């Protein structure tokens, strides 16, 4: 009698420990999925301003009309509550709905295709664990003929190659981890590659930089050291930039501030360092020749001397008389690649709109820059931007008042 009872108890104990272990394992997987969802920045698109987490409905303006993101909470009617892990993997990996329908590439499946099955399953487990929200998806408002999903087939033929990430055996494990995150979940190429008229990026142009349509921000090349190529940055400066939004070499702003705010600040030190190692590695050694100025020289030298006056009065108190700044909070402008690039869109917009780097765990109370749109004329904006692009050994070219004027109407969100 006694022994039977103890056997039963033993069995029960064994059962409870395995149950507890299984529980542990699921909560581990969910926590991992949450981390990976951060790395993929799902929230940037799938959570609307003041909306519920992952309930979608956020408008994404595109040159073809407005796309609304989907509800990816586990609500069975309006979300993905009835999906299986296979269905979810198919969306991430192949850009298709469970019924085989084609998904618009505004959902970055062209990058997420590199995500492993195990990571996809973890993200799915996490999404199953969050609060379901009953909220119907808004229909897209796309112009003819882009409202026809069959057109996506053409896009896919040109720009989509399905396939999980394949490590490069000649590189370190750390480099490969960084490559996996940057090319896959990080979907950095979605902004940092030239985008052609069809809204596509070709593989060979990956990370070569481009103007983001509709937003009028230039996402610099991550491979050219004349842009945001990080070849001559220290690993510490890169990890500071990615994790805190500020660094001794420069700061993030505009759409990149969003990426750091919602995604990169949450990555752990090892993953951040892996990304830094990879980013430093893909920067090409040689720089293309300096862009030649488009303005006649007498005109540009007048502009630049006006620029110095504007700078000394309005900017030097923070960025320093020699453009040395007080890094990381007041970024240096001397030898700062992000203002010397051929495209002057970013420094012009910086002067017009000012900005704060994102508030992050590593930099919770960032310092800010005032907008000068209301304080400086087009000519003064052009002058000061021309000045900072050419002073102190910087190798940028002057800009015209017309370029400054055009960017006054750029959207601010």
Partner 1 sequence: MLARAAASAALIVTLAAFDGAVAQTTNQPPDTMAARVEACTPCHGNKGEGTSDVYFPRLAGKPAGYLYNQLLAFRSGRRKYPPMNYLLEFLPDPYLEAMADYFASEHPPLPQPAPSGVSKDVLAQGELLATSGDAGRNIPACVSCHGPGLTGMQPGIPGLLGLRAAYVSAQLGAWRYGTRTAKSPDCMQLVAGHLTEADVTAVAAWLATRPAPADPAPVPKGTYALPFGCGSQPN
Residues that bind partner 1 (CB under 8 A): 49-50, 240, 244, 246, 257-258, 261, 318, 326-330, 353-359, 361-371, 373-375, 412-413
Q: Are 222 and 282 within 8 A, CB to CB?
A: yes
Tell me if 254 contacts ligand HEC by CB under 6 A: yes
Q: Which residue has the tokens 């195990």?
A: 118
Give the number of residues in contact with ligand HEC, rule: CB under 6 A.
72
Write out the two tokens for 136. 């119907």
| Residue of 250, 327, 328, 396 that binds ligand HEC (CB under 6 A) | 250
Q: Measuring CA to CA, which residue among 222, 261, 257 is closest to residue 350?
A: 257
104 touches, from partner 1, ligand HEC, none (C-beta below 5 to 8 Å by class): ligand HEC
| Residue of 74, 178, 184, 220 that binds ligand HEC (CB under 6 A) | 220
Backbone angle region of 123, left / alpha / beta, with phi > 0 → left and psi within -120 to 50 → alpha: alpha
Distance of closest approach, residue 359 Cβ to partner 1, in angstroms = 4
Tell me if 336 contacts ligand HEC by CB under 6 A: yes
| Burial tier of 102 (Cβ tally within 10 Å: 0-12, 13-18, 19+) | middle
306 touches, from ligand HEC, partner 1, none (C-beta below 5 to 8 Å by class): none
Tell me if 46 contacts ligand HEC by CB under 6 A: yes
Write out the two tokens for 25. 């394992």
Tell me if 347 contacts ligand HEC by CB under 6 A: yes
Distance of closest approach, residue 272 Cβ to partner 1, in angstroms = 12
Tell me if 210 contacts ligand HEC by CB under 6 A: no
Q: Measuring CA to CA, which residue among 365, 363, 412 is closest to residue 247?
A: 363
Q: Measuring CA to CA, which residue among 126, 100, 164, 99 is closest to residue 39?
A: 126
Closer of 104 and 266 to ligand HEC (Cβ): 104
Q: Are 96 and 79 within 8 A, CB to CB?
A: no
Closer of 37 and 130 to ligand HEC (Cβ): 37
Residues 6+ positions from 253 with CB-CB distance below 8 Å: 346, 350, 355, 357
Annotate 160-175 with b (16+ C-beta within 10 A) or e (fewer): beeeebeeeeeeeebb
- Residue 142 has what DSSP assignment? E
Closer of 24 and 312 to ligand HEC (Cβ): 312
Tell me if 410 contacts ligand HEC by CB under 6 A: no
Q: What is the CA radius of gyration of the chain?
A: 25
Q: Are 316 and 218 within 8 A, CB to CB?
A: no
| Residue of 18, 370, 408, 412 that binds ligand HEC (CB under 6 A) | 370
110 touches, from partner 1, ligand HEC, none (C-beta below 5 to 8 Å by class): none
Helix (H) / strand (E) containing 300? helix 297-314
Closer of 270 and 302 to partner 1 (Cβ): 270
| Burial tier of 374 (Cβ tally within 10 Å: 0-12, 13-18, 19+) | exposed
326 touches, from ligand HEC, partner 1, none (C-beta below 5 to 8 Å by class): partner 1
Tell me if 89 contacts ligand HEC by CB under 6 A: no
Distance of closest approach, residue 177 Cβ to partner 1, in angstroms = 22
358 touches, from ligand HEC, partner 1, none (C-beta below 5 to 8 Å by class): partner 1
Tell me if 108 contacts ligand HEC by CB under 6 A: yes
| Residue of 29, 30, 103, 341 that binds ligand HEC (CB under 6 A) | 103
């Amino acid at each position: 009698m006694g022994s039977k009872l103890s056997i039963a108890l033993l069995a029960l104990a064994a059962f409870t420990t395995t149950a507890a272990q299984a529980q542990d394992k699921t909560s581990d997987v969910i926590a991992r999925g949450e981390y990976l969802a951060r790395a993929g920045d799902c929230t940037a698109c799938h959570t609307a301003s003041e909306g519920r987490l992952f309930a979608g409905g956020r408008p994404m303006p595109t040159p073809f009309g407005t796309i609304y993101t989907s509800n990816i909470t586990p609500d069975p009617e309006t979300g993905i509550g009835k999906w299986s892990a296979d269905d979810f993997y198919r969306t991430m990996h192949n850009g298709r709905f469970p019924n085989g329908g084609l998904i618009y590439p505004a959902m970055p499946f062209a990058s997420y295709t590199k995500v492993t099955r195990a990571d996809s399953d973890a993200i799915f487990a996490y999404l199953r664990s969050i609060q379901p929200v009953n909220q119907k998806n808004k229909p897209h408002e796309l112009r003819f003929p882009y409202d026809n999903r069959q057109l996506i087939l053409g896009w896919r033929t040109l720009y989509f190659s399905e396939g999980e990430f394949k490590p490069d055996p000649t590189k370190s494990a750390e480099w490969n981890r960084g490559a996996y995150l940057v090319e896959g979940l990080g979907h950095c190429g979605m902004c940092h590659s030239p985008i052609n008229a069809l809204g596509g990026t070709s593989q060979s142009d990956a990370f070569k930089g481009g103007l983001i349509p509709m937003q009028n921000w230039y996402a610099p090349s991550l491979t050219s050291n004349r842009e945001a190529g990080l070849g001559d940055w220290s690993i510490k400066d890169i990890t500071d930039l990615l994790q805190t939004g500020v660094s001794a070499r420069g700061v993030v702003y505009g759409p990149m501030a969003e990426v750091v705010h919602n995604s990169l600040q949450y990555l752990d030190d090892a993953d951040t360092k892996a990304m830094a190692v990879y980013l430093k590695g893909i920067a090409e050694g040689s720089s293309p020749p300096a862009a030649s100025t488009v303005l006649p020289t007498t005109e540009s030298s007048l502009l630049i001397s006006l620029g110095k006056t504007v700078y000394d009065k309005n900017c030097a108190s923070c960025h320093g008389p020699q453009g040395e700044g007080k890094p990381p909070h007041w970024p240096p402008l001397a030898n700062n690649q992000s203002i010397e690039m051929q495209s002057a869109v970013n420094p012009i917009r910086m002067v017009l709109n000012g900005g704060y780097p994102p508030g992050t765990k590593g930099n919770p109370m960032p310092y800010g820059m005032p907008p000068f749109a209301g304080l400086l004329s087009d000519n003064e904006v052009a002058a000061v931007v021309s000045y900072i692009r050419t002073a102190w050994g910087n190798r940028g070219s002057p800009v015209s008042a017309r370029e400054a004027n055009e960017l006054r109407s750029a959207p601010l969100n």
